[in-house]
Amino acid sequence: MNLFIKLFGAGISLLAGYVGTKLVDTIWEKSTGSKPPKGDDEDVPTTLHSALTFALISASVSAIIQVLANRGTQRAITRYAKTQDLV
């Protein structure tokens, strides 16, 4: 069961990362009026300032998602261990 909780936590982390990426992209596009600088669009000119700003925002959101997912997984493992001791 412990392995299941860890796999579930990894799945939640991946899903939250995907949603976070889409959220950051959408907010960037709404606030700046241009597509996010991803490096794969050669049609969209990207300044160093906008690329660094986007990278900083994306990294911050990713770090927050990772910490929250890890804490949630650890809480679930602790809860499971306590209920296993009761049974």
pLDDT tens for residues 12-61?
888 888 998 999 999 999 999 888 887 776 666 788 898 899 999 999 99
Q: Is the pLDDT reported for residue 86 higher than 90?
A: no
| pLDDT band at residue 1 under the 50/70/90 scheme | low
Overall residue count recorded for the chain in this entry? 87
Question: What's the pLDDT at 85?
Answer: 61
Question: What's the pLDDT at 45?
Answer: 72
57-to-8, 62, 78, 86 alpha-carbon distances in Å: 26, 9, 32, 44
Question: What's the pLDDT at 57?
Answer: 94
* 60: its two tokens: 């911050």
